[in-house]
Structure 1
Amino acid sequence: MIFKQLNKIACKTYLVGSEATKEVIIVDPVLPQVNEYVSLLKDEGLKLTHVLDTHTHADHLSGAGALVDHTGAVYVMHQNSPVRCVGFRVPDGFDCHLSDMPVKVMHAPGHTKDSMCLIFPDRILTGDTLFLDDGGAGRTDLPGGDAGEHWESLQKIMKLPDHLVVYPAHEYRGREPSSLGEQKKRNPNLQSRPKEAYIKWLTDMKLGPADWMNDVLKANYACTRDPSATHIPTDTPSCEMKGTMSPDLMEQQVPTITIAEVRRRLGTKQLDGTVILDVREPAELKGELGVIPGALNIPVGQVAQRLKELEKFKEKEIVTICRSGARAHTAAALLLKAGFRKVLNMSGGMTAFRKAEKTPQ
C-alpha cells in the first residue's frame, strides 16, 4: 500500500494507492500545493484516478478542481455536497476498491452536511469529523453544521474496530495518528454522554464562526482555481473547537508551571495558596490518567460562563491542567483576560504528570 501525508501545514492531504498498479487517489488537497502534487505524481510514476474531499472545506481552498484539470482524475464527494464541479457523488455505505484495496464510505455529518470518512482495512481518514486527542473534532457551528448530527456520526465511529488508525484532515499541534481504540479513551468528543448533553456541551462553547470562513466555503462551492480568491489567515486552528476565538485571546501570553514544581508542591503540601483547575470533561477524570486530589473541575467550554464561581480565587494562584496542555492554555488565557492575575498552565498536562511519576528522580 502506498500511503503518504503530503503537506507540512496543519491541513492534511493524503495520497493512497496500490504498489502493484501505481494507481492512487489524493484526499483533501489544498489549492496552493497542486503543482507540488502534480510533480510528485510525475516523479514517482503514479497515476491519479480520483480526487476526494472528505467535506466542503471552510478553512482552505480545495485543490480538487485544479487537480482534475491537470490530470483528468474524477472528483469525488458525498452525494450531499453542494460543490458544483464534483464528477461522482457517493452515498453512505458505498463500497469500492482502490485497485486491490477495499474502501468504504461512511457519511458522517455534523461538521458539514457532506462530511464523510473513508474506511480502509487498517486505517480511517476521518476528515473533520474526528481529530486527535484533545483536538477533539471539527466545529459544528459553521453553515451546514449540526451538533446533534455530529453526535450521531460519532456513535457510528464508536462501533468501528479499535485497530483502525485515525488520520484526520487537520492537526494543529503536532499530535501523532493513533488507533481508534486510543481515541475512544483520550478524545473528549468520544466520551460517553447523551445526545442532549453533547449538544449542550458544544453550544456552551459559543465559538462564533469567522466571517472569512464563510467566504472560503463560497469559493469552494464554486470550485475556484484561484489561490488568492479569498483571504485566509495562515495555519490557524480554525476548524478545531475554539479555533476562532478572538485574536486577543489566542495571542494572550500564558505563563507555565513545570510538572516538577507541581509535584514538589503536592509532596510538601504547599498548595494552600494554589487552586488546581482541571478543565477536562468529567468523563475523562475517570480514565487512566485520573485526577490530582483536590482539583476543581470546570470543562474548558464552560469556563467563560462560570467565572463567578472562580471570583473567590481571584487573589490565589490558579494552575490550569488538562490532558496535554492545549485546553488548559485556552482556559488560562480566558482567566487572564478576565482579570485573574496569577494563572499558570501546567505544561504537558496530566499525560506528562503521570509519566513523571514513573520516571526515577
Structure 2
Amino acid sequence: MTDQPLTVAKAQIDEARADKAKRPSIAGFFDEATNTVSYVVHDPATGQTAIIDSVLDYEAASGRTSNGSADRIIEYVRANELKVAWLLETHAHADHLSAAPYLQEQLGGKLGIGRDIIRVQDVFGKIFNAGSDFERDGSQFDRLFDDGDSFALGELEVIVLHVPGHTPADMAFIIGDAAFVGDTIFMPDFGTARADFPGGDAGQLYRSIRRLLELPDETRLFLCHDYKAPGRDEYAWETTVGQQREENVHVKDGTTEEEFVAMRTDRDKTLAMPKLILPSVQVNIRAGHLPEPEENGVSYIKIPVNAL
C-alpha cells in the first residue's frame, strides 16, 4: 500500500532542495528550564509565519506564570515584520505549558494540533476529574489535523504527518525541506522519546520514526528538545534524516522493532515523571488556557495523588 502523505512530503522536500525559494526561514528559541525548542518559521516571500511549540514560563514552587520566553518570540516576529498565520503544537506537551493563547492575543493566528488530542483529553480529563464543563472534543483549538492534511504558509505548503507513539496525538509538520518532528526523535547521540505516558506505545513510536526516516536523507529535522548527551557540551536541535539513519543510538538503520521496544520499555522504567507533567498536561489539553477561575477569581491546578 502506498503511503500517499509520505510520497507527497518526499516530493515537496526534493523540490525545496532544488529551489531555495521554496525553503522556509527558521529561528529556534531554546528554553533551558524545560529543554524545549520553540520555532518561528516563515515564508521569505510573504512573511507568513508559523510558531511551533511555544513555552509559557511556569515556576512550580509559587505556581506563577510569566511570559519571558514568549516575549522573545514576539520581539523577533515584530522586529522582522512577520505575519503570524499559525500557532502549531506537535502534541500536548508534558514538560512545559504552552504560550499559544498569549501569542495568539498578541500576534493573531490559528491554533492547530492533531485530531487525536481528543483521545488525550479523554484520558487526562478522567485523571484530573475535569468534570462535564471540560469539553473533550478538541473544540479549544481552531483546527484539528489528520494525517496527510496540508495548508498554505504564504507560498509554502505545510504537510502534516501523524507520528504517534510518544502520545496518540503527535504530529510532524513538513515545511519545504524541513520537518518539525516534536517528541519522536532526539539528537542522534541521545536517541528517542519515551513511550510510557498514558496512550503511548513503543512499537507505534518505532514505526512513526521509521516512517519519518523514509524522507530524503537531506531533510532537515528540527527537534522539540535537547538534553546534551554525555560527552557533548552544547545544546543542539537540528539534524538530518541521513544522520539519524546512520547514527541514532536507539533507532539507526538495522535496528528492529523488537529490539527498539525492548530497549525503550526497559529505559522508560528508569525515568522519573517530567517535573511539570501535572500542570503542563492539565493546561495543554485546554489549548494552553488555565482552568477556569473559581468563585474567588483564582485558577487552580489539580495534583492527583498516586494517579500516575
TM over 0.5: yes
SS in structure 1 at match of 2:193: coil
2:125 matched to which residue of 1? none
1:154-200 deviation line (CA, Å, top 9, x unaligned): 22112111010111001122235222101111112323333233211
1:216-270 deviation line (CA, Å, top 9, x unaligned): 21221123446x9769xxxxxxxxxxxxxxxxxxxxxxxxxxxxxxxxxxxxxxx
CA distance in 2, matches of 1:86, 1:65: 10
> In structure 2, do the counterparts of structure 1 residues 182 and 116 end up closer, same or farther at CA, with 3 Å as the change threshold?
same
1:221 matched to which residue of 2? 285
Residue of structure 1 aligned with 2:71, choices 35, 47, 68: 35
2:197 matched to which residue of 1? 142
- Note if 1:195 corresponds to 2:195: no
1:195 partner amino acid: E
Q: Cα offset for 1:56? A: 0.8
Map 1:20-169 onto structure 2 (within 5 A): 20-32=45-57, 33-82=69-118, 84=138, 85-169=140-224
2:135 matched to which residue of 1? none
Cα RMSD, aligned residues only: 2.3
> In structure 2, do the counterparts of structure 1 residues 197 and 7 end up closer, same or farther at CA, with 3 Å as the change threshold?
closer
1:19 matched to which residue of 2? 44
SS in structure 2 at match of 1:104: strand
CA distance in 2, matches of 1:40, 1:179: 26
1:177 partner amino acid: E
2:277 partner amino acid: M
1:118-149 deviation line (CA, Å, top 9, x unaligned): 12332211111111112112111112211011
Q: Which has the higher contact order (CA 8 A, sep 6+)?
A: 2
Contact 2:37 2:237 in 1 (8 A): no
Contact 1:121 1:164 in 2 (8 A): no
CA distance in 2, matches of 1:209, 1:229: 24
Corresponding residue pairs, total: 231
Q: Cα offset for 1:20? A: 1.9
1:13 partner amino acid: S
Contact 1:97 1:103 in 2 (8 A): yes
Q: Cα offset for 1:208? A: 4.5
2:9 matched to which residue of 1? none
Contact 1:54 1:116 in 2 (8 A): yes
CA distance in 2, matches of 1:72, 1:185: 41
Contact 2:282 2:301 in 1 (8 A): no
**Percent of aligned positions with the same letter in both sequences?**
28
SS in structure 2 at match of 1:60: coil
CA distance in 2, matches of 1:70, 1:229: 24
2:25 partner amino acid: I
SS in structure 2 at match of 1:119: strand
Q: Cα offset for 1:14? A: 0.7
Q: Cα offset for 1:113? A: 0.6
Q: So what's the TM-score if we normalise by structure 2?
A: 0.69
Q: Cα offset for 1:210? A: 1.5
Map 1:168-207 onto structure 2 (within 5 A): 168-173=223-228, 174-175=235-236, 177-191=238-252, 192-205=254-267, 206-207=269-270
> In structure 2, do the counterparts of structure 1 residues 178 and 194 end up closer, same or farther at CA, with 3 Å as the change threshold?
closer
Q: Cα offset for 1:97? A: 2.3
Q: So what's the TM-score if we normalise by structure 1?
A: 0.59
CA distance in 2, matches of 1:202, 1:7: 26
1:118 partner amino acid: F
Q: Cα offset for 1:59? A: 0.3
Contact 1:133 1:183 in 2 (8 A): yes
Tell which deviates more after alignment, 188-197 or 121-130. 188-197
Q: Cα offset for 1:114? A: 0.6
Contact 2:54 2:98 in 1 (8 A): yes
Gaps of 5+ in 1: 232-361
Q: Which of the pair has more CA radius of gyration?
A: 1
